[in-house]
């Protein structure tokens, strides 16, 4: 594959799951890739696989919660490829349990990876995009949990809803500047991945719920199918990327609750509907 002059995509959380799916699809489109993850061994193995297939790819072990490491990721990308066209702030972890029983350290871990990772990516790369003065795109991975809340997922709900708010704000700010930089927020339902391996169960309720959630995720949409929808949305410069169907009743119920100022109600069938929609 000759992709010497293809666009450059930086993808965090690239060693597995959604990130790997995005990277594989980007490679098919002839893009040059910078792959970031904390899993050094998995990252290098995947990068070597791409290199063997003729893809121009660079592995950069990165803890997205550390601003200095994200800045190093940016600098290595520029040194290696000369610039950046697409930034996927994708790295994420999971935590289940009653919100009052989740430890401070577990809360901090979720905030650091799921939210600070996106903040650090924006702070490191958006000034570069503005200096480049050409079309670029930021894609932040949130979740349907960024739009509707579930019990026993407080840190995940909080961080993903914050990512949605941050993405909207960034979209407005870049539009105010007339910058050629687009923003998308990805809000998928269940996607087949190993994200539940990052879960640190803290109580019996969290354990039972995490088992249900793990089963739902493992039966979810394939990362490849998700990636195809994501890149289609990027081509259209769409802000909202909502790959799954079946979540609309839950979102409508939440919006109606807000507008009518009625107490919110969670229905477990929403999780089950998301699972069936993802198959």
* Active-site amino acid positions: 156
Q: Rounded distance, CA 15 to CA 230, Å? A: 18
Q: Which residue from 164, 56, 66 is spatially nearest to 121, judged by alpha carbons?
A: 66
Q: Which residue from 257, 37, 28 is spatially nearest to 7, judged by alpha carbons?
A: 28
Q: Which residue from 229, 80, 251, 223 is spatially nearest to 161, judged by alpha carbons?
A: 251
- List, in order, residues 6 or more apart from 2 with CB less than 8 Å away: 30, 54
- Which alpha helices (H) appear in the chain, and where do they start and end? 17-28, 40-52, 67-81, 104-110, 117-132, 154-177, 204-218, 223-235, 248-260, 269-278
- 3-state SS, residue 170: helix
Rg (CA), the chain: 18
The region that residue 133 occupies, defined by phi over 0 for left and psi between -120 and 50 for alpha, beta otherwise, is left
- List, in order, residues 6 or more apart from 52 with CB less than 8 Å away: none
């Amino acid at each position: 594959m000759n992709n010497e002059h293809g666009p450059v995509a930086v993808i965090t959380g690239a060693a597995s799951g959604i990130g790997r799916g995005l990277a594989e699809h980007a490679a098919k489109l002839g893009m040059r890739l910078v792959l970031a993850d904390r899993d050094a061994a998995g990252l290098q193995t995947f990068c070597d696989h791409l290199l063997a297939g003729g893809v121009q790819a660079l592995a950069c072990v990165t803890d997205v919660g550390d601003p200095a490491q994200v800045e190093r990721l940016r600098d290595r990308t520029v040194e290696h490829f000369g610039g950046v066209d697409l930034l996927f702030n994708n790295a994420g972890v999971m935590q289940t349990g009653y919100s009052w029983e989740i430890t401070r350290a577990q809360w901090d871990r979720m905030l650091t990876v799921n939210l600070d990772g996106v903040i650090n990516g924006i702070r490191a790369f958006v000034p570069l995009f503005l200096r480049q003065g050409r079309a670029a795109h930021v894609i932040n991975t949130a979740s349907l949990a960024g739009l509707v809340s579930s019990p026993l997922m407080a840190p995940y709900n909080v961080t993903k809803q914050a990512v949605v708010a941050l993405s909207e704000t960034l979209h407005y700010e870049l539009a105010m500047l007339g910058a050629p930089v687009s923003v998308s927020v990805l809000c998928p339902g269940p996607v087949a991945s190993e994200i539940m391996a990052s879960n640190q169960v803290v109580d019996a309720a969290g354990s039972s719920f995490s088992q249900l959630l793990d089963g739902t995720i493992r039966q979810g949409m394939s990362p490849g199918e998700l990636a195809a929808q994501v890149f289609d949305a990027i081509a259209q410069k769409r802000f909202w990327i909502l790959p799954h169907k079946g979540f609309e009743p839950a979102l409508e119920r939440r919006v109606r609750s807000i507008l009518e100022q009625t107490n919110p109600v969670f229905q477990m069938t929403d999780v089950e509907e998301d699972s069936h929609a993802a198959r």
